[in-house]
């Protein structure tokens, strides 16, 4: 009897611990920190949704959906801030540390803790470490851009490295394009920046990027697009180095090793006044004839 009670107690305890663990995991997935207008959450898109006001805790894998003229901000378990624009459907898996954007616009700012996070859409998968950027999926077109930091985006198994100030445009059926964009302009006009009261966790890196961007503009490295437009980056103009006179040096070394036997290179010789060695002519060179 005691054995049965013990087993029953252990089973209940295990169940409670399991539920508590799930609850803890769910509680640590993401928290809504800002919600404007229609913001809902649910386990799956096919099930019933519930409003997600500020303070709502999303369970692991639960999705968040914004309506027309709506926006939301979440703090993920890894302290990443994500901001959702209107008509956006998104979910986050804490277990996989993966953000899945099904449609809409998402801005992310992940602290530089060197722990990788994956941002996924239908055709583009991006790996970030400590980065601030955005991703937008409208129809089949995808735009993935970075405000600061760098990331690797993968399309059909091909990796593309994206740096701060660059965006990757991709529409299935067309080759991906990597373009540079005006970072300060985006930051000044994006509702995902200007319409939220909180600073992003990587604010100091963003400010550094703005300063560097403005410096590059001042030095001419960033210009308005012109015709023809150069799609790809180039490595810059090469350093050149004049050719030293190796041939002259080689000849000089040969002369150094084998000095020429002309007058200027010979030590002074006593004059000779007896034929046949009478050149140079005889002269007083001390009393060396003995």
Partner 1 sequence: MGLTLAASSTLFAQSAAETLQQKVGLPQQAPPPIPTTTSNGDLGQVGIVQQFPKPDMFTVSTTQQFFDTTNVFYSQSGKVSSAAYLGTYTGSYVPYSLVNWTPRITLQYNQARYGNAGSGDFDNENVAFSSQYVFTEDRAWSWTATVDLSRFTTAHANDTVFYKEVVYDNQISHVQPIGKDNDLYFIASYNLTYHQASPSVFDRLDNAFTFSLSYYPCKQVCISPYVRPAARIYVTDTSTQNDRHDFNLEEGLDVTYQPCKYVAFSADVSNVNDFSNTPGQSYNVTAPGVSATGTIRF
Interacting residue ranges for partner 1, rule: CB under 8 A? 85-86, 88, 104-105, 134, 136, 143, 145, 165, 167, 177, 179-182, 185-194, 216, 219-257, 260, 262
CB of residue 72 to partner 1, shortest distance in Å: 12
Q: How far is CA 171 from CA 27, 123, 143, 222, in A?
A: 36, 9, 9, 26
Closest to partner 1 by CB, 59 vs 88, is: 88
Q: Smaller CB distance to partner 1: residue 5 or 258?
A: 258
Decide whether 24 or 237 has the Cβ nearer to partner 1: 237
Task: Yes or no: say if 206 and 132 are a contact pair by the CB < 8 Å rule.
Answer: yes
* Three-class SS state of 248: helix
Only one residue has tokens 């959702």, namely 84
Q: How far is the CB of 225 from partner 1 (least distance, A)?
A: 5
Nearer to partner 1, 50 or 69 (CB): 69
**How does DSSP classify residue 256?**
H
Distance between CA atoms of 111 and 204, rounded to whole angstroms?
A: 11
Rank residues 116 and 191 by Cβ distance to partner 1 and give the closer one: 191
CB of 255 to partner 1, least distance (A): 8
Q: Which is nearer to partner 1, 258 or 274 (CB)?
A: 258
Non-local CB neighbours of 121 within 8 Å, separated by 6+ positions: 100, 101, 102, 135, 137, 142
Tokens found for residue 182: 């005006």
CA dist list (Å): 228 to 66, 206, 224, 257: 40, 31, 12, 58
Measure the CA–CA gap between 22 and 94, rounded to whole angstroms. Answer: 12
Q: How far is the CB of 143 from partner 1 (least distance, A)?
A: 8
Q: Report the C-alpha gap between 86 and 95 in whole angstroms.
A: 26
Tell the smallest beta-carbon distance from residue 93 to partner 1 (Å). 23
| CB 8 to partner 1: min, Å | 54
Q: 76 vs 80, 96, 111, CA distance in Å?
A: 5, 12, 11
């Amino acid at each position: 009897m005691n054995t049965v009670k013990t087993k029953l107690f252990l089973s209940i305890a295990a169940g409670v611990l399991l539920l508590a663990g799930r609850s803890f995991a769910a509680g640590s997935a993401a928290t809504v920190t800002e919600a404007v207008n229609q913001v809902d959450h649910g386990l799956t898109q096919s099930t019933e949704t519930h409003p997600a006001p500020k303070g709502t805790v999303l369970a692991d894998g639960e999705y968040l959906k914004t309506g027309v003229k709506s926006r939301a901000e979440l703090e993920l378990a890894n302290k990443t801030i994500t901001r959702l624009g209107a008509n956006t459907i998104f979910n986050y898996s804490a277990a996989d540390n993966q953000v899945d954007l099904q449609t809409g616009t998402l801005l992310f700012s992940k602290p530089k803790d060197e722990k990788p996070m994956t941002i996924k859409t239908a055709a583009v998968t991006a790996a970030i470490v400590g980065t601030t950027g955005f991703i937008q999926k409208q129809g089949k077109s995808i735009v993935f851009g970075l405000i600061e930091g760098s990331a690797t985006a993968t399309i059909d198994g091909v990796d593309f490295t994206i740096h701060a100030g660059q965006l990757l445009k991709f529409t299935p059926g067309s080759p991906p394009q990597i373009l540079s964009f005006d970072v300060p302009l985006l930051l000044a006009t994006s509702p995902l920046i200007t319409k939220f009261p909180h600073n992003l966790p990587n604010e100091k890196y963003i400010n550094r990027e703005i300063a560097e961007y403005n410096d590059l503009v001042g030095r001419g490295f960033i210009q308005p697009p012109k015709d023809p437009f150069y799609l790809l980056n180039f490595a810059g103009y090469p350093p050149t180095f004049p050719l030293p006179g190796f041939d002259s040096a080689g000849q000089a070394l040969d002369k150094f090793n084998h000095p020429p036997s002309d007058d200027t290179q010979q030590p002074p010789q006593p004059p000779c006044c007896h034929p046949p060695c009478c050149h140079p002519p005889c002269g007083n060179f001390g009393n060396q004839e003995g």
